[in-house]
Amino acid sequence: KQIRHGFREDFLWGGATAANQLEGAWDQDGRGPSTDDVLTGGTATEPRYLTYCGSNGVTGKISMTDLHDLPDGASFAVLPDVWYPNHEGIDFYHHYKEDIALFAEMGFKAYRMSVAWSRIFPNGDELTPNEKGLAFYDAVFDECRKQGIEPIVTISHYEMPLGLVNKWGAWRDRRTIDCYLRYAEVLFRRYKGKVKYWITFNEINSMNVTGWLGAGVTSCDPTVMLPAAHYQLVASAKAVKLAHEIDPENKLGCMVAISQAVVYPADCNPANVHKAWERAQKCYFFTDVQARGYYPSYQLCRYEREGIKIDLTEQDKADLSRGTVDFISFSYYRSTTVSIDPNAPWVAPDSPLKETLGVKNPYLKATDWGWAIDPMGLRIALDQVYDRYQKPILIAENGLGAIDTRQPDGSVNDDYRIDYLKKHIEAMKDAVVHDGVDLMGFTMWGPIDLISASTGEMRKRYGFIYVDKLDNDTGTLKRSRKKSFYWYKKVIESNGEVL
């Protein structure tokens, strides 16, 4: 370990996206429907809904943040006359060359992206993959390599084949582990030599909030979500081992939404301090298992106390211990503040995610979606995670979702986005230079505008690249550079010295 005066020479500057939020072409070239294809659009105050059809033909919808099982005989389905924002995304499927060229123009060293599972296995339980889906990602990786960009690939980012949901409840069933491993093995073998960095699951701790996005589970109840999360943890560990066997050059990472672990007590009341710690543990438990290879005692105690029954076999224990990750990655957007006072004001009282977003922090401003802006929280996250695991860290996501206004000439002066990112990069530099954190890279979220995961909106824009698409499903899909595009180019050129 050496003392650093800045970011390392091979720092992975870049951006991150997810297949379901930008590819579109949801039913082309053999792709099967995924969990995102039945999600409607929401807003900051209106949840996204999942649509279904009953055996009698009667249709219905349920909220993604207030889930329950479907009526008997019903299954999730794409309904006519409903608008599903992910179906078109920003049509990266047909624009990937242009988009990767724009990333290269900014000087990207890395592009974190995901593969759409249902492009490779349309229903999830086939034995042979869909060649056209594989060929698409060959083309994307080749394009990245041509432009000198290292792909960092998330195997499962907030989606999975809808077939597995309708068949046996997705990750509620142990059989999904085998389907995931068959899929992962196909990726490891096909893209050997093209892809070296892999992330097994995006924000695996989203299973503390909703079972749907990450796991196709129709519940927000921990007694249902956490047993399903156990199967994901086993699948992740087995995938890590397999990837190392197939190519010892492979580097495997876990990924959590660390905003759920940067938790502040509303004041110095020890009861609030403890509440903050309990909340953070709900996030750390996932990385504890993935980085250390076993369940931490606090989590096992919680399961016993709360009657949460996980199907933890002796074989699972062995698999978990053999499949620890090489690096830790996380997303960081905001911190969370908690209070034992039931009357403490929520930071976003009208949001379907109000409990996740926590109570107001008088020291922090929040975005239009109630996400507390807190650059120091990123330094805290880096320090805590590095101290806990002593493994290299990748900041896999960080960015500002904001409403952009286009000037009459089409330009976007997004100084607020530059300000947000500048302060967060300064904080991460402090973590590297002052605190000695081993940071591998920074892939900001949403270098190009795309569909929001939590709300399904386009107007919640993160990009350096503007995409002409609106929430009323109009727009030319034309790409253009925002002011932040030129700013980020300089940041990368100077390896983070010019901010």
- The residues of the shown chain that bind ligand BG6, judged by CB under 6 A, are 18, 21, 158, 202-203, 257, 331, 397, 401, 445, 452-455, 460
Residue placing its CB nearer to ligand BG6 in the complex, 452 or 484: 452
Q: Where are the alpha helices (DSSP H) in 174-328?
A: 175-190, 211-215, 222-246, 270-292, 297-306, 314-322
Min CB(352)–ligand BG6 separation in Å: 11
Nearer to ligand BG6, 199 or 427 (CB): 199
Contact 209, 143 (CB under 8 A): no
d(CA 458, CA 403): 9
Give burial (CB, 10 Å; 0-12/13-18/19+) of 61.
Answer: middle
Which residue number, 18 or 347, has a Cβ lying nearer to ligand BG6? 18
Active-site residue identified among 46, 397, 457, 493:
397
- Please state the closest distance from residue 23 (CB atom) to ligand BG6, in A: 13
Cβ distance 118 to 160 under 8 Å? yes
For the question of residue 397 being annotated catalytic, the response is: yes
Say how far apart CA 319 and CA 357 lie, in whole Å: 34
d(CA 4, CA 10): 13
Side chain identity at 302, as an amino acid letter?
Answer: R
Q: Is the dihedral of CA 178, 159, 337, 227 positive or negative?
A: negative
Tell me which DSSP letter residue 32 carries.
Answer: P
Residue 293 or residue 441: which is nearer to ligand BG6 going by CB? 441
The contacts of residue 409 (CB under 8 Å, 6+ apart) are none
Q: Which helix (H) or strand (E) holds 253?
A: strand 251-257
Asked if 48 and 55 touch (Cβ cutoff 8 Å), the reply is no
CA atoms within 13 A on the CB side of 88: 18
Of the residues 143, 203, 304, 355, only one is catalytic, namely: 203
State residue 59 phi and psi, 5-degree precision: -105, 165
Nearer to ligand BG6, 21 or 43 (CB): 21
Whole-angstrom Cα distance, residue 362 to residue 347? Answer: 10
User: In degrees rounded to 5, what are phi and psi of residue 33?
Assistant: -65, 145
- Nearer to ligand BG6 by Cβ, of 150 and 203: the residue is 203
Determine whether 143 is an active site residue.
no
Residues marked active site are found at 203, 397
